[in-house]
Amino acid sequence: MKYKFIWLFITVLFSATAIGQITIKGTVKDKSAIPIPGVNVLVKGTTTSTATDYDGNYSIIVPNKEAQLEFSFIGFTTQLVKVDGKTVVDVVIQEASQALDEIIVVGYASVKKSDVTSSIASVKGKDLQTMTVGNVTESLQGKVAGVQVTGAGGPGAQPRVLIRGISTVNLNTDPLYVIDGIPMGTSINFLSSNEIESMEVLKDASASAIYGSRASNGVILITTKKGKIGKAKFNFDLNSGIQIMNNPYNMADAENYATIMNKAYTNAGYSAYLPNPEQYRGKTTDWWRAGIKQSASIANGSLGVSGGSEKHTYAISLNYFDSESFYEIGGWKRITMRIANDFKFSDKFSAGITLNPRYETWGAPTNWADFDKIDPITPIYKPADQLNGTENEYSIYARSPSYVWNPVAAVKRYDDYTNLYNLNTNAYLQYTPIKGLVIRTQGSIEVGDKVQSKFNPDFIIDAAHEKAEINSVERIATTNVDWTWQTTATYSKTFAEKHNASLMIGNTMEEYNGSDVSGYGEGVPNNSDSMREVNAATKNRSSKGNSWSSSIMSYISRFSYNYDGKYYVTGTFRRDGSSKFMANNKWANFPSASVSWRISNEGFMESTKSVLNDLRFRAGWGKVGNQNLPDAVYQSNIKQGYYTFDGNVVDTSYPSSMANKDIKWETVEDISFGLDFGLWKNKFSGSLEYYQKKTKDMLFLKQFPTYSGFPNYATIWTNVGSMGSNGIDILLSYKDKKGDFSYGADVTFTTVNIKMLALSTEGEKLYGSGNRTLTTKGEEPGFFYGYVADGLFQNQTELNAHTDQNGNKLQPYAQAGDIRFKDLNGDGKIDDKDRTKLGSPWPDYNVGLNLSFAYKQFDLIANFYSSIGNDIVNQNISDLYNGTSLTNKVSGLEQMAWHGEGTSNYVPRLSKDDNNENFSKFSSFYVEDGSYVRMKNLQVGYSFYNKFGFDKLRLSVSGQNLWTWTNYTGIDPEVGGGDPDKGDRVKGSGFGGWNYPILPTVLIGLNVAF
C-alpha cells in the first residue's frame, strides 16, 4: 500500500510540474512579413533554446506563464518578449539600421560602429568561410577596400597582404595580426577560418597607432568565436574537393624537340644536333604525366560545440585542414583545437581562458619546373644494358644531356619534412569596482617546438654531373617561448545625457625567446627509413646551436568623447621601448588623433531622412613605427668559413655584419579623410577615403663601404631616406529583399601611388633582384630596370642602319632576327647607361566585386578580384624560347621564332649561340602586362531547416579560381614579393617564373547545426 502511495505522490508531483510548463509556438517575420529561418529563440535565464525553421516557425517549452523569450539573429536587433500566459507568440524583428549599433573591435577595446572615428573595415567570419583556403587572408581578397592580397600557391604558402601599399623597402611588408587582443606576429597560417567571429582591418595610423612600433604595415584584429548563453549547440562543417593542376605550357614532343634543336644548331653554323627527327616520332617521354598529378585533394573540416549559462559560457572546436601537393608525396596538414571558457563570478568579476593547441606537418618537392624543362628524348630509367645490378634504388634513373636533373628521381629521393607542435594559452581577469570603470589584465604564453628532418640518399646517375657519393642526414630543432602581459583600466561616463567620454590607460609587456640546435652527419650505412638518424652517421658529424631574445615594453592610452551622437574625437598615445635599439634610441612615441562629424544627426538634415539615412565625415592623423629587423643589429657578427691551402682545409672567420649603435625606429606618419553614407533605408551604403602617408628613417640593410677594408659581403643596418604614398579607397554596397528573393553587391576600389622622396645620399641607387630593379629618388621603389628591346632586326638594311654617327654598328654581333636594343643616351654604344625604367610591379588599381543572391532555400555567392596596371617579369621566356640550352622548348617554337623577314617581331631567331645577348641581357623583352581579372569563388548552396533532426543542414558546391583573364603569358599573374630574408621583399616584387600557381579548385560542402 505504501508503495502505491509513493507512486501516486511522484505522479502528482510530476503532473504539477507539467501543469506549470507551457508550450509556446509562433512565427518570426521581418517588417515585410517575410518569414526568417534560423532565428535563435531562447528562454531567458535558462539554457533552453531552439531555432525557427524555413517558414519562420518555432516551438519551445517554457517553465511558466511569466517566462520571457529572447529572439536574436545576425543583422537584426535582439528582442525580449514576455509570454504573459499566451501559447502563441508571433514576433516581428527589426533590422539593425546599417549595423550602426554593431560592436566592432578596436585596439584594446570594443566600440559601436557608429562611434568609430578612424579608418577601420570589418568583415564577419561567415563571409570568410565561403572559401576553402589554408590561410584565411586569401578569403579577404577583394572584400576590403585598401587591402591588396596576393595569393601564394602551394600547400601552406602564405599570401602577401598589403594595407594601403607598402611603407618600407627592405623589411617584411605584412601587417601585424592581433588575435583576441594578443599580438601574434605577421602570419596566421595556424588559424582556421572556422574559428573566426570577425576580422577588423585598421587601415590608417589613427586606428593602428595604439600598436605603436609594430603597426607601420597596418594591423588586423581577429576575434575568435565564444560561447553564448543557451543549450549546447553543435556544428559540423566539411568542405572537400580537388585542386586541378594542368600543364601551363604545351611543350614540344620528342620529334618537335629534335626539329627545334637542329634549327638552333644549324642557325649558329653547327651540324644538326639530332639528325633525322622522324626517328623520335612516337617516342616522347611524358615527364609531366610521370611525376605530376592532374589533381590533388584538399579538405577542411570543423566540429564544434558551444553554449552555457549566465555564469559560464564555453566554445570548443576541433579543426582539420589537409592540402596535398601535386606530387605523389608531400603536402600540408594542420590540426587545431580551441577551447574557450568565460566565467562571470558576479557583477564585478569575470574571467576567461582559451587554450589553442595545434599540430602541423609540411614538406613537398619544389622542382616541378624540371618536368617541363627536361628534354623529352631522355627516358625516365636507364636502359637495362646500362645497369650492372649494383645500383641502389636511386641510381636506376637516366641522365639528361640538358643538365636538368632527372625530376622523377629527385622526387623519389625527397625527404625533407617539418613537424610543429604548439600550445597557446590566453587568459584574462576583469574587475568592475564601480559603474563605468573596467580594469582588465590579460596574459598569453605560447610554447612551440619545430623539428625539421632531412635526408639526402647517396646515388650515382651520372658520375660526372648527377650524383651524391655519400648520403647525409640532418635534424634541426627550434623552440620558442613567447609571452605577453597587458593591463588596462577604462572609465566611461555619460554627463548631462549628451556628453559621452571614455579614458583608457594601460601597460603591455612582450618577450620573444627562441633557440635552435641541429645535428648533421654523413655516411649512414644504408638509405632505409629506419637508418635516417644523425646517430647512424659514421662521418663528418657536426652540431651547432643558437638562441635569441627580444622584448618590448609599452605604455598606452586612449581618450574618446562624443557629443549627442554628432561630434566625435579620439586620441591615442603609445610609448614603446624595444630591446633592438641602444639606449639613445630605445624609446619612441606614437600619437594619433581623429575626429568625426555625423552630419545626418543634425537638425537641418531631418528633411532628408527618407533618402539619406547616414552621412558621416572622418579625419585622422597618426604615427606608427617599424622595428621588424633582426635582434641586436647594434652588434657586429662574425661568421665561420674555410678555404683550401696546399691541399688542406683551413678554417677561418670573417665579419658578416657590422654594428650600428645609432640605428633607430622606422616611422610612418599618415593623414586620412573619409566620408561614410547610407541611402534609402541603408539599402545603398558605402565609404570614400583619401590618405597620405610618409615613411621616415627607413631601415635598410646596406653593403658596408668597401673603402673600410672589410669584405664586400659585409653588411650594416642603417636608416636611409623617406618614402611617400597616397591613394583612395572606395566601398559601395547595395542590399535588398523582394519577397523570397534577396540580393546584394559590394564593390571595392583601391589606388596606391608610391614614390621615394629621399635616400641617404643624393643620387643614391638601391638595386635589387640581381640589379634588375632600381630604387631612386622620385620614382616608385623596385621598378624594373634594364634595356629597351625595340623589336627584331628584320633584314640587313635594318642592321646597317643601327649605327653611331660614325657608321659603326651599335650591335656588331647582331644578325637578322636578333633583338634591337635602343641607344637611349645617343652616345653610340649600348652599355649600362642605356638602362632605364621598364615597368612597375605595383598596380594602379585593385577592384573587388562580391555578389550574393538567395531565393527561398537556395543561395549563390560569387567573388571576383582584379589587379590593373602592374607589370610582371616573365622569367620563363628564356626557358621556353632560348635555343642555347638543351632543355625542352614550347611546341612549335621553330615557327614562333623569327625565321625570315616579317615572320616575328617578338621571339628572336633560334640559335645555339646568344652572341647578341637576346636572352642574357635583361630588357623589356621580359616585361609583360600583369593585369588580370579572376573569379575567386562561385558557390551554390541549398539549406534545410529543422529537417532530419538538425536545426540546419546546408549542402553546397563551389569552384575557386576557375577563370582568369590576363594577357600575361607566364604561369600565374598573382605574383608576390621577393625573399624578405634577403631584403628583396619589395625590391624583388613582380618577378614571375616557375612559381607554384593558384590552382582551380572544385569542392562540395556540408554544414550541419543541431
Amino acid, res. 818: D
Q: Residue 860 has what pLDDT? A: 94
Provide the CB-side half-sphere exposure for 151 (13 A, CA): 26
Strand order in the sheet with 836-839: 766-768, 773-775, 783-786, 836-839
Q: What is the CA radius of gyration of the chain?
A: 33
Cα 63 → chain centroid: 50
pLDDT of residue 14: 41
Chunk the chain into consecutive blocks of 10 residues (it has 1010) and report each block's average pLDDT, rounded to whole numbers: 46 44 84 76 80 82 83 76 84 64 76 81 88 88 90 84 86 87 86 89 89 88 88 91 94 96 94 91 94 93 91 93 93 94 92 95 93 96 88 93 94 96 95 92 95 95 90 95 94 88 93 94 90 91 90 93 90 90 85 91 80 89 84 60 58 60 84 91 90 87 61 69 92 89 93 90 83 91 94 94 89 94 91 94 94 91 95 94 95 94 94 94 95 95 86 92 94 81 75 90 92
Q: Classify burial at 188, counting beta carbons within 10 Å of its beta carbon; exposed 0-12, middle 13-18, buried 19 or more.
A: buried
- The grid coordinates listed for 285 are 617521354
Phi, psi (5° rounding) for residue 707? -70, -10
Distance CA 619, CA 337 (A): 41
Residues 457 and 471: beta-carbon distance below 8 Å: yes
Contact 446, 483 (CB under 8 A): yes
Closest to 692 measured CA to CA, from 737, 775, 734, 752: 752
364-376: b or e for each residue (b if 16 or more CB lie within 10 Å)?
A: bbebbbbbbbbbb
User: What per-residue confidence (pLDDT) applies to 705?
Assistant: 60
Strand partners, 298: 241, 323
In terms of phi and psi (left: phi > 0; alpha: psi -120 to 50; beta: otherwise), the region of 419 is: beta
Phi-psi region for residue 436, left (φ > 0), alpha (ψ -120 to 50) or beta?
left
- Coil, strand, or helix at residue 820? strand
What the block records as the C-alpha cell of 236 is: 559540423
Taken in order 627, 632, 635, 637, the sign of the CA dihedral is negative
Residue 529: half-sphere exposure toward Cβ, Cα within 13 Å: 1
How far is 519 from 473, CA to CA, in rounded Å?
A: 8
Classify 98 as helix, strand or coil. helix
Q: Is the dihedral of CA 213, 217, 221, 224 positive or negative?
A: negative
> CA nearest 209: which of 696, 590, 486?
590
| C-beta of residue 650 within 8 angstroms of C-beta of residue 643 | yes
Residue 428 vs residues 439, 444, 487, 662, 714: alpha-carbon distances, Å = 11, 9, 9, 38, 46
Q: Are 940 and 731 in contact, with CB atoms under 8 Å apart? A: no
| Of 551, 472, 675, 688, the residue nearest 183 (C-alpha) | 551
Q: Nearest-CA neighbor of 358 among 297, 453, 428, 449?
A: 449
The per-residue pLDDT for 698 is 80
Out of 3.40.190.10, 3.40.50.300, 1.10.10.920, 2.60.40.4130, select the CATH number for domain 13-92.
Answer: 2.60.40.4130
pLDDT at 709: 55
Question: For residue 603, how many other CB atoms are within 10 A of its CB?
Answer: 7
β-strand 437-456 against 472-495: which pairing, if any? antiparallel
User: 502528482: which residue's cell?
Assistant: 12
536: three-class secondary structure by DSSP = helix
DSSP label of 999: P
Torsion of CA 672, 678, 683, 688, to 10 degrees: -20
